[in-house]
Amino acid sequence: MSSTTRIRELAVVILILVISVIVYIGKIQGWNNGLMFSPAVSLTVVIVIFLLLLYILLRTLQGHLIGRRTVFLFVGLAVVLPFFMTLTLKFRVSPEVQQLYDALSELQPGSKVLVSFDYDPPSAPELQPMAVAFLRYCLSHDLKVIIIGLWPQGPQQANLALEDALKSKEVAAKKPEYGVDYVNLGFQVGNEFVIQRMGTDFKSMFPKDYSGTVYDDLPLVRNVKNFSNIDYSFNLSAGYPGTQEWVQVAVDRYGLKMGAGNTAVQAPMMYTYLNAGQLVGLLGGMNGAAEFELVTNEIGKGTKFMLSQSFAHMIVIAFIIIGNVAYFKSGRKKKL
Amino acid sequence: MEHVAVWIAAFLTLGIISFLYKDNPWYKLSEAIFVGISAGYWFVVLFWDNIYGKFWVGVFPPDVVDEAGNFVSHGVPDYALIVGAVLGVLMLARLLPGVGWISRWPLAFIVGCTSGLYLMNYFSSNIMRQVQGTIIPLFGIGYGASVYEIIGNIVIVGGTFAGLVYFFFSKEHRGAFGATAKVGIWVIMITFGASFGYTVMSRMSLLIGRIDFLFGDWLGLIK
Amino acid sequence: MRLLIHTTLFLSVFIFIGSSRIFSVEPSPQVQADTLVNTADTVGVSVAPVTSLLVDDYKYDNGEQLNLSWVPSIDDQLIDGKVSVYRVYRITNDSTRELIAELPPGSNSFTDKNLNRHDTYRYIVAAVSASDDEVLSTTTEPVQPQREWINFRRGYLFLLALIIGGAVIYYIQSARRGKKLFVRKIAGLEAVDEAIGRATEMGRPILYIPGILDMDDVQTLAAITILGRVAHQIADYDTKIRMPVSRSLVMTAARETIKTAYQTAGRPDQYSDDMVSYVTDEQFGYVAAVDGIMVREKPATVFLLGAFFAESLILAETGNSIGAIQIAGTARPAQLPFFIAACDFTLIGEELFAASAYLSGEPKALGSLKGQDVGKAIAMIVILVGVIAVTIGNAWDVKFMNDVKDMLTTIFSTQ
């Protein structure tokens, strides 16, 4: 690598840092109150990106191939720009989300809902919006929430989600009380063996809650012995152990009624359980979170992120088309 | 302190994203920090939850006290945990030349237990319930299905059947059997397409999450 | 070793039995309450009491539940019903009665959960009028919930597991006795020869990646078995192989396999330990190293067989960009789309194990493959028969078809 390139790269890094520092100071001082494009600007941006893609397609047809960094740049723009746009996106609620909501809305006030947080921060962008929306619905509809985690960081994610949910007006009006209306029993090692034991005895797996209070001192769970005392359960899952293990043990063996929220990567695998009636409903990825927010009439991060998500998908589709054009034009071995 | 935390997070996020440009020292540093921290984190979690939380507290339980902190009774130790601990220690025999074979005993225990449990779980959830779930009336209950539902039902039943035929290894793929297997591989490929789409969505979500952090939590540009 | 297998088998069976609670049942007591109305409790009668109150042990549980059933009050009518609610009371041992449930009119049963099998319970069901006048039924005789050791509802599950497990053992034994078991041709496998031939012609090495899991993963085992065959041909053609691995045990096993192949081919002197090298256990560190090897050495053929995670696309894409013929195979469904998109041949899911069984001819591998085929055949037949039965039964209400459908649903229900 030549030293001029290195100097140029370093200059770019320093430039980015300087701009960041200025913007950050602006945030602290209060003269940066966020950025928002007007509808006209938003529309112009969309049209410019579309024209650029069209140009790339034409160039590809002429046999000029683009580099992978161009693809990254476009995907980056498609994700970043919508955050500042004043466009609203219309989408509809899919049947699996509706089913999950229907089963939840049929519950009587005071019903006990078990929520298992089986994910960690890397999957939070997808699952956290679901967690917040679900907890918000439960706490504002007098459903009692029992939280556990089969992943060590799950209960921490739960606390973050609770914090967000408690900020909502409807929830705050109900003044939910820890130990009475909701409880976080924490993490337990043992994967599906934990679920198995919970089938006979919750207390043996969670003798104390997240903050060390003894199980029997928590009014909400004092009389909860096993799954037969749970009216509904919701599993937020990013892998193993997750929805598959819950279905195999808790649903099929102990007859627990269960809905699931999954990362998009594993959602397709869960449709088999949905079809066979082992799950009452399914939220798949950020899309699922947004639809759940729509059906519960609460705008949250899922909805907010959907514009970026849709833009990014359009860019990906555009590049799949461009890539295929390149493939058929230039034979097997030349690549983007 | 909050400022420092958000800057560290932003620094590391940008470091990882910089890989898109090319491999560089900033990326390597961020990756090394991530790998080191996650390994350390897991060690701590497993130590406190398994060795201390389960074994030590189980065998040497603290006394039971009432709310005022007065002594009520001695905790009941669970000596069965010692068996597990001994098996666990035997696993370490792998490290010693000559007695490495001993580590096979705890392995046999683990393999035996998990295969017993998994056999049941997979058999009932992934085979029996799925077969039961596939037995559906093609035209709906009492002929009540719409055209879309009928097509959906045919796809579910036909797809499952053809997929099973593809993975049936005891018969050559010829004639009608071969044709069904072909349908099966098409169904599998379409599934992979859907799965690929979902994966793209998932990865985009992760990127969106980070962008939200960078432009929102860090720079405060997002309203 | 044999002892080890037996222990494992024994434990499996033990856990299997334990987890499904298959054996032994004690007869459950069925206690009928005196149906005469206890007149002392029915002062100010406004509705008739419930009758025939029965307590019944809940079948196949850990002794925690009791079933209650009764005939509703004759005043509980659909139109102009006088009963507003039923209240269920429980008397534990000899304590006072406690209200445990309120049920809507029309109810005639209730399951009481969370009981203790060492305690005795008595029940009273009260019919309550709109003016909140309670009329009690008689108190049932004391009952203890019973624990059953075996869940007979899962008998069919046991039977099917027995059939498929039996088939696996039968085929393993047949293979051991030397019977030739047929396994169909696998497309990806036929490409192996061609791919090795190509590398030989081009004078470039073959890169073999056995996934990133250890020897305890069955996919890695399959990859090493297939390596045996590949190495044999490589030794024959005198082609170069390069195999970076991420686990030390895999390194040892791979070296052993390749060495044996060279010895069988009569060229032990051509073998060198450098063919297989350990890189690192760390996922992306390993990927970076393999990518480096691909770009520098430009292998003509790349094998990606075993357990792969997020690195699947990175590896397959790099391999594709250098123009190598790529043969991939994994049983991880989430990674298969990437392999299919970026590789020339892909062994999908079970094909990887089938390929390894086919190549090794190992009785255990072949036997389990054939045994599983029996399971698949059963599933195919049941789906076909079941769908025909339920479709015809539903459309034309044919009794025989409905019976067939009910039978299949019962057998395959796991609750």
CATH number at residue A282: 3.40.50
Residue among B124, B199, B212 minimizing CB distance to A264 = B199
Residue C87, token pair as written in the block: 């209240």
Q: What is the mean pLDDT of residues C63-82?
A: 88
Within an 8 Å CB–CB cutoff, is residue A34 touching chain B? yes
Q: What is the mean pLDDT of residues C264-275?
A: 92
The larger pLDDT score, comparing residue A121 to residue C29, is at A121
Q: What is the mean pLDDT of residues A88-93?
A: 86
Tens of pLDDT, residue by residue over A28-49, are 888 877 888 888 999 999 999 9
The larger pLDDT score, comparing residue C15 to residue A160, is at A160
Give the closest residue to A35 by CA, choosing from A74, A80, A78: A80
Question: Across all residues in chain C, what is the average pLDDT?
Answer: 86
Q: What is the mean pLDDT of residues C18-42?
A: 42
CB-based contact A185:A221 (threshold 8 Å): yes
Residue A164, token pair as written in the block: 């967000």
Q: Which of residues 171-230 of C touch B (CB under 8 A)?
A: 182-185
Judge: C113–A266 Cβ closer than 8 Å, yes or no: no
| Cα end-to-end span (Å), chain B | 23
Strand, coil or helix: what is C97?
Answer: coil
User: Does A149 share its domain with A16?
Assistant: no
Q: What is the mean pLDDT of residues C249-267?
A: 93
**Nearest-CA distance from B147 to chain C in Å?**
15
Q: Which domain holds residue A4?
A: 1-34
Tens of pLDDT, residue by residue over A97-138, are 999 999 999 999 999 999 999 999 888 999 999 999 999 999
Tens of pLDDT, residue by residue over A291-305, are 999 999 988 888 889
Q: What is the dihedral of CA A9, A15, A20, A23, to 10 degrees?
A: -160
The larger pLDDT score, comparing residue A1 to residue A8, is at A8
Read off the pLDDT band of B76 (50, 70, 90). confident
Testing the interface with C: which of A271, A327, A335 to mutate, by most C Cβ within 10 A? Answer: A335
User: Does A19 share its domain with A115?
Assistant: no
Residue among C12, C183, C379 minimizing CB distance to B115 = C12
Read off the pLDDT band of C19 (50, 70, 90). very low
Nearest Cα residue in chain A from C413:
A252
Q: What is the mean pLDDT of residues B157-173?
A: 95
The larger pLDDT score, comparing residue B28 to residue A139, is at A139
Residue C373 has pLDDT above 90, yes or no: yes
Residue C188, token pair as written in the block: 């990806």
Q: What is the mean pLDDT of residues A230-248?
A: 94
| Confidence (pLDDT) at A1 | 54
Query: Which fold does the domain C187-361 belong to in CATH?
Result: Rossmann fold (3.40.50)
Q: Which of residues 54-73 of B touch C (CB under 8 A)?
A: none
**Nearest-CA distance from C401 to chain B in Å?**
12
Q: What is the mean pLDDT of residues B108-112?
A: 87
Residue C327: burial class (beta carbons within 10 Å; 0-12, 13-18, 19+): buried
Q: Is the peptide bond before B106 cis (omega within 30 degrees of 0)?
A: no
**Nearest-CA distance from A251 to chain C in Å?**
9
Contacts of A126 in chain B (CB under 8 A): 202, 205-206, 209
Q: What is the mean pLDDT of residues B101-130?
A: 87
Within an 8 Å CB–CB cutoff, is residue A329 touching chain B? no
CB-based contact B116:C11 (threshold 8 Å): yes
- Is the ipTM higher than 0.90? The answer is no
Testing the interface with B: which of A18, A21, A126 to mutate, by most B Cβ within 10 A? Answer: A126
pTM of the model: 0.84
| Confidence (pLDDT) at C35 | 40
Q: Which residues, in sequence order, are CB contacts of C192 under 8 Å at separation 6+?
A: C226, C229, C230, C233, C327
Residue C66 has pLDDT above 50, yes or no: yes
Judge: C114–A333 Cβ closer than 8 Å, yes or no: no
| Confidence (pLDDT) at B13 | 94
Number of domains in chain A: 3
User: What is the architecture of the domain spanning C30-136?
Assistant: Sandwich (2.60)
Which chains are within 8 Å of A by 3+ CB pairs?
A: B, C
A291 assigned to some structural domain: yes
User: Does A149 share its domain with A281?
Assistant: yes
Judge: A312–B204 Cβ closer than 8 Å, yes or no: yes
Tell me the backbone φ, ψ of residue A315, rounded to 5 degrees.
Answer: -65, -45
Residue C191, token pair as written in the block: 């490409």
Nearest Cα residue in chain B from C352:
B167
Interface of A with C (CB under 8 A): 196, 200, 223, 225-226, 228-229, 252-253, 255, 265-266, 269, 333, 335
User: Does A130 share its domain with A207?
Assistant: yes
**Nearest-CA distance from A35 to chain C in Å?**
35
| Confidence (pLDDT) at C12 | 52
Nearest Cα residue in chain C from A202:
C114
Residue among C19, C334, C373 minimizing CB distance to B168 = C373
Judge: A196–C114 Cβ closer than 8 Å, yes or no: no
Contacts of A239 in chain C (CB under 8 A): none
Question: Across all residues in chain A, what is the average pLDDT?
Answer: 91
User: Does A81 share its domain with A131?
Assistant: no
**Nearest-CA distance from C414 to chain A in Å?**
7
Q: Which of residues 207-226 of A touch B (CB under 8 A)?
A: 217
User: Does A53 share its domain with A191?
Assistant: no
Q: How far apart, in Å, are the Cα atoms of A56 and each of A62, A322, A325, A328, B71?
A: 10, 8, 11, 16, 77
Judge: C408–B135 Cβ closer than 8 Å, yes or no: yes
A306 assigned to some structural domain: no
A30 assigned to some structural domain: yes
What is the distance between the alpha carbons of residues C348 and A77, in angstroms, rounded to a whole number? 36
Q: Which of residues 107-136 of B touch C (CB under 8 A)?
A: 108-109, 111-113, 115-117, 119-120, 123-125, 127-129, 131-132, 134-136
| Confidence (pLDDT) at C21 | 42
Judge: C114–A255 Cβ closer than 8 Å, yes or no: no
Q: What is the mean pLDDT of residues B113-127?
A: 86
Read off the pLDDT band of B65 (50, 70, 90). confident
Residue C31 has pLDDT above 70, yes or no: no
Q: What is the dihedral of CA A223, A224, A225, A231, to 10 degrees?
A: 140
Q: What is the mean pLDDT of residues B84-93?
A: 89
A25 assigned to some structural domain: yes
Tell me the backbone φ, ψ of residue C325, rounded to 5 degrees.
Answer: -75, 130
Residue A57: burial class (beta carbons within 10 Å; 0-12, 13-18, 19+): middle
Domains of chain C, residue spans? 30-136, 187-361
**Nearest-CA distance from A285 to chain B in Å?**
6
Nearest Cα residue in chain A from C21:
A253
Give the closest residue to A152 by CA, choosing from B49, B51, B52, B57: B49
Residue C30 has pLDDT above 50, yes or no: no
Q: How far apart, in Å, are the Cα atoms of C1 and each of B73, B105, C4, C5, C365?
A: 48, 10, 5, 6, 18
Which chains are within 8 Å of B by 3+ CB pairs?
A: A, C
Residue B145 has pLDDT above 80, yes or no: no
Residue A267 has pLDDT above 70, yes or no: yes
User: Does A122 share its domain with A238?
Assistant: yes
Residue among C19, C321, C334 minimizing CB distance to A335 = C321
In the structure, how many helices (H) and strands (E) does chain B have? Answer: 8, 2
Instruction: Please give the full DSSP string across A143-162, using - where no structure is assigned.
Output: -EEEEEESSTTHHHHHHHHH
Report percent pLDDT > 70 for chain C. 89
Tens of pLDDT, residue by residue over C193-228, are 889 999 999 999 999 999 999 887 889 999 999 999
Residue A140 has pLDDT above 50, yes or no: yes
Contacts of A79 in chain B (CB under 8 A): 204, 207-208, 211
**Nearest-CA distance from A4 to chain C in Å?**
25
Residue B38 has pLDDT above 90, yes or no: no
Judge: C65–A228 Cβ closer than 8 Å, yes or no: yes
Phi-psi group of C81: left, alpha or beta (phi > 0 → left; psi -120 to 50 → alpha; rest → beta): beta
Testing the interface with C: which of A112, A243, A253 to mutate, by most C Cβ within 10 A? Answer: A253
| Confidence (pLDDT) at C60 | 85
Nearest Cα residue in chain C from B139:
C391
Contacts of A200 in chain C (CB under 8 A): 62
| Confidence (pLDDT) at A230 | 94
| Confidence (pLDDT) at C115 | 87
| Confidence (pLDDT) at C36 | 40
Beta-strand ranges (E) seen in chain B are 64-65, 71-73
Residue A95 has pLDDT above 80, yes or no: yes
Nearest Cα residue in chain B from A263:
B202
